[in-house]
Amino acid sequence: MKYKLTDETIEHNGKTLYRIQALKDFGDIKAGDLGGYVESERNLSQNGNCWVADEAWVYGKAKVFSNARVFDNARVSGNAWVFDTAQIYGDALVSGNAWVSDNAWVYGNARISGNARVTGNAWVFGNAQVNGDAEFKNGYIG
């Protein structure tokens, strides 16, 4: 195991989210480092270098895996997946059945929702929104 759920919790809409703590060194994370918050271990893979940091939250059936990162005050919820080397940060929100993958970055106040897919070398930032059944790949929206 690379991390554990700590006793430090927050409540959000009737859900308890647990701060995570690294149990071993991986990537640029060191054993003992505190991370962000997850509802359960199903939200963050024990494999790869994926991590939830700072005050970020991942909850519901959302999953972060591979080498993806969610940090700052970002939120990932619903059935959303964040994977490969994708990064979600700032005050960004990924929700619904959305996927963010490959080398995509979602940051600022950006919102990805519905069945949207953000892939490739895409950057979605500022107040941009990608939603519904939209797909965005290899470009900039912000």
CATH code of the domain made up of 3-141: 2.160.10.10
Q: What is the pLDDT of residues 37-69, one digit of tens each?
A: 999 999 999 999 999 999 999 999 999 999 999
pLDDT averaged over the chain?
98
- Listed as ranges, residues in the chain with pLDDT below 70 are none
- pTM > 0.95: yes or no: yes
Amino acid 80 reads: A
CB 50 within 8 A of CB 65: yes
